[in-house]
Copies of this chain bind each other. A is one copy, B any other.
Amino acid sequence: MALTVCQTNVVTVQDLLADIPERLPAELFQNLLVSSQLRVERIVSRGHQTPKGEWYDQDENEWVLVIQGQAELVFDDSQPPVRLKAGQSIFLPAHCRHRVSWTPEGEHTIWLAIFFPAENEV
């Protein structure tokens, strides 16, 4: 196979800790990488939580890592809440109903989320 140009001049370095708007009236969702098999997002929260009574119920699997800050997730079954700090990740299978119940005010919580098809839906 021919050498693929590395394209580092084209696909520049992304800085996940930078370019955060001064005001964040809502959580910020940004695609970092999109392919046919997966999507990688940066999510920035600042005191946000999922509206009470609303649940994420996703067709895709999600693997999520807190890069900076902290967060708490709760689940729509008998699972206990999970507190995540910077460097911690969790796997959320498709249709695992969950919500973000807390992110701290006064600091940015930066998430890296990887979404990919559930095996039984491929």
Q: Write the residues of chain A forming the contact surface with B, with a CB cutoff of 8 angstroms.
A: 1, 3-9, 11, 13-18, 32-33, 35-38, 40, 61, 63, 65, 67-68, 75-77, 79-80, 82, 84, 86-98, 112, 114, 116-117, 119, 122
Contacts and interface: CB of A to CB of B under 8 A. Distances in A.
B122 A14 contact: no
Given A38-B37, A89-B32, A119-B36, A95 B17 contact: no
Report which residue of A17, A80, A114 has the largest number of chain B beta carbons within 10 angstroms of its beta carbon: A114
Contacts of A88: 13-16
A109 to B, nearest CB: 14
Given A5-B96, A17-B86, A36-B119, 5 more contacts: A4-B96, A15-B87, A16-B89, A37-B37, A67-B67
One complex includes copies of this chain to the number of 2
B33 A91 contact: yes
Contact of A6 (B14, B33, B63, B98): B98
A93 B7 contact: yes
Given A82-B13, A84-B13, A1 B95 contact: yes
Given A112-B112, A114-B38, A89 B3 contact: no
